Structure 1
């Protein structure tokens, strides 16, 4: 199910047929370096993709992972996580791109696409993006976008103090 599209990219539901690409980029240590998830074996990845293919979209107080694919052939390039707050006032956004898709403005285009889609489909007032303070690629992407840096924190993640930079984008 395609949710939004541009000439080269589409935002869509993840599907069971995405398993090879999904496992490949989610198993890449460089891609996973600043992410909050762990690589999945084939059985767990298949279960996850099946769940995301059928999970309700934009359900308050839950995460939805959406696929980012090439429009031309539906080849999966990455995924975007969206968490809608319980009260529906805001969303948190995360993005994971295969290494081959990085550095080509695909992330920027994907973030623009998902933000426009979220503002169109929901009543949220703002979208939050949080990045590890050393994730230079994510920080560069957010600096190019209409997101504004709001503050920095040192959060305890899995028992490790982690410096994070917070950004927000408000509905126009």
Structure 2
């Protein structure tokens, strides 16, 4: 089991006890606005996020983002394929704006490049999600372009802004 810690946070596997909180924040319209999951999120859809698979295992692996005292703030994820991965973050509305996403992603990125030896990380977001785009830039990601109206999301064709970071850039 992969457990990551920062000065304020612990990133650990999600458990069945986390699921009511996960369901609540994933169904919050402001939290879900730019996320790709189907709405409404259901108990079955969030139950699939519970896994003891290690970070770096093929496919999506979620980790709860908690304060050291145990309060669940949200989750991060890594979708690994060979030596590359996509990452994501979702925080409850009450946890946004406190630097938790940056702290959690910094730990995830460091783990991906140092412990897992990944070559490249990527992330994408709706370009209207300016806080996440700014966060990716602050973390050192490079904006690689926007695919215009590239996917159907919540009843409209949506743009996809793409960002990436190489392991050599992170460790330099």
TM-score by length of 2: 0.87
Whether 1:157 aligns to 2:158 is no
Distance in 1, Cα, partners of 2:134 & 2:55 = 29
Question: Quick one: which of 64, 71, 86 aligns to 2:61?
Answer: 64
What CA deviation, in whole Å up to 9, does each residue of 1:83-133 have, x standing for no partner? 111xx1211011111101111111111111100111123231110010101
In structure 1, the partner of 2:113 is: 119
TM-score by length of 1: 0.87
Task: Give the secondary structure class of the aligned counterpart of 1:157.
Answer: strand
Give the gaps of 5 or more residues in structure 1.
Answer: none
How many matched pairs?
Answer: 165
Distance in 2, Cα, partners of 1:30 & 1:113 = 25
Give the gaps of 5 or more residues in structure 2.
Answer: none
Matches within 5 A, 1:1-172: 3-38=3-38, 39-45=40-46, 47-49=47-49, 52-60=50-58, 62-71=59-68, 73-85=69-81, 88-154=82-148, 155-158=150-153, 160-172=156-168
Give the superposition deviation at 1:41: 2.8
Distance in 1, Cα, partners of 2:44 & 2:136 = 34
What CA deviation, in whole Å up to 9, does each residue of 1:124-149 have, x standing for no partner? 11100101011111112112211111
Residues 31, 97 of structure 1: 8 Å contact kept: yes
Distance in 1, Cα, partners of 2:85 & 2:44 = 29
**RMSD of Structure 2 on Structure 1 (CA):** 1.8
Distance in 1, Cα, partners of 2:108 & 2:90 = 13
Task: Give the secondary structure class of the aligned counterpart of 1:100.
Answer: helix
